Amino acid sequence: MDKEMILNWLHELAQGQLSPDEVLKKLADFPYQDLGFANIDSHRNLRNGNSEVIYCPGKSVDQIVQIFRALAEKSQNVIATRAGRRVFQAVQSQIPDAEYYQAARIVALWRNRKLTRGIIGVLAAGTADLNVAEEACTTAEIMGSKVIKIYDVGVAGIHRLFDKRELIEQCRVLIVVAGMEGALASVVGGLVDKPIVAVPTSIGYGSNFKGVAPLLSMLNSCASGIGVVNIDNGFGAGVLAHRINLLGEIK
């Protein structure tokens, strides 16, 4: 349940546009709505600043649609992660305004498009890392952060990264996505004074161990100011970077 929605209801109540009974009906499922198979946390936006997000794997298409619809009634923006096109088509049949971000594998309802002044920069080492990078970008944007993308700047061609220094300096927070040995996070950490959210990916040959190698490299980085999320967790990186970004909006 969005803060803005509740404030609007309270203003409408004060102005006589809504009755107390009407407001009570809108709050009937607060702080959660029981769908039988899921309890929708309509209080989360008030606690954390962002509404509950749907993780699609392991859920049936019908369950995802029901959860999405319930969230859409209480939130301006809704995100469903790791979603395929079949899920999107089912959601869109119920909610025509839903959009599909194929590279990010996200189905979203994005009604409030107000963005921060501060910028999150998302750096990806290689083209193979783009699905994870796009998940981070799309998540942060729909949650309300301005994002710029700086892709294919891995250490195998380090001059490509150096050419983006001016763009990187404009950012308040950086997300660095890399597979293979995950060296990009350390290189960036040694160049800038920005907080860095590092995301190891499962991209790489055998000794990459499906992302364990870059995960350990990032955790053991000698550069300071780097925090690390789980393997392929673009969503988690987007949320964390957004929250850090919001701190700079406070006056």
CA-nearest of 188, 196, 194, 187 to 227 is 196
What number is the average pLDDT over the span 72-87? 90
Predicted pLDDT of residue 221: 93
Q: Burial, 224: exposed, middle or buried (Cβ in 10 Å; 0-12, 13-18, 19+)?
A: exposed
**Rounded distance, CA 133 to CA 104, Å?**
8
Task: State pTM to two decimals.
Answer: 0.84
Domain limit, last residue, from 66, 87, 110: 110
Q: 154-184: per-residue pLDDT in tens?
A: 998 999 999 999 999 999 999 999 999 999 9
Give the chain's domain count.
2
Predicted pLDDT of residue 34: 61
Name the residue range of residue 97's domain.
Answer: 3-110
User: Same domain, yes or no, for 100 and 145?
Assistant: no
Strand order in the sheet with 119-124: 146-151, 119-124, 173-178, 196-200, 226-228
User: Same domain, yes or no, for 125 and 190?
Assistant: yes
pLDDT surpassing 70 at residue 14 = yes
pLDDT band at 27 (very low <50, low <70, confident <90, very high): low
User: Same domain, yes or no, for 167 and 98?
Assistant: no
User: Same domain, yes or no, for 100 and 197?
Assistant: no
CB neighbours (10 Å) of residue 30?
A: 14
Q: Are 188 and 122 in contact (CB under 8 A)?
A: no
Domain limit, last residue, from 110, 129, 159: 110
Question: Would you state the structure tokens that stand for residue 147, as one six-digit string?
Answer: 């994002």
CB neighbours (10 Å) of residue 115?
A: 15
User: Same domain, yes or no, for 97 and 190?
Assistant: no
Domain limit, last residue, from 83, 110, 137: 110
Q: 112-137: per-residue pLDDT in tens?
A: 888 989 999 999 999 999 999 999 99
pLDDT band at 3 (very low <50, low <70, confident <90, very high): low
> Which domain CATH number covers 238?
3.40.50.1970
User: Same domain, yes or no, for 216 and 99?
Assistant: no
User: Same domain, yes or no, for 53 and 95?
Assistant: yes
What number is the average pLDDT over the span 73-85? 90
